Amino acid sequence: MYFPDTWPSDCPPEDAVDAEGEVFRIVNNNPPNEDDFKTSFEIDSFPHRPACLRCGLSVHRILSDAIHTKTKYPKLGRLIARGILTNESGKTKQTGQASHTTW
């Protein structure tokens, strides 16, 4: 599996698992577009967070958790997109409270 050369050498982390299953991402567009899938690394946000986390995308495994996050942080987006990941989609790691996962 290919990961960008611009990512840190330890990314994805060794404890990340093959992506699979249903995920929910907070987005601004219907249908979601390229801007809805830019990482913190690409848009240069959260500079004090670990570099590898900034290279991933935040998703939730449970719809109600995504709704809660969208309500709590409205600047993240106004819609929630649903997707199905397969092992060809890369790697994921649970990285937060509830079902927050970095893809």
Give pLDDT, residue 58.
96
- The answer for residues whose C-beta is within 8 angstroms of residue 71's C-beta and 6 or more apart is none
Q: Are 21 and 97 in contact (CB under 8 A)?
A: no
- Alpha helix ranges (H) inside the chain: 40-43, 51-54, 63-72
Low pLDDT (below 50) residues in the chain:
none
In tens, the pLDDT along 35-51 reads: 999 999 999 999 999 99
* Token output for 61: 């495994």
Quickly count helices (H) and strands (E) in the chain: 3, 6
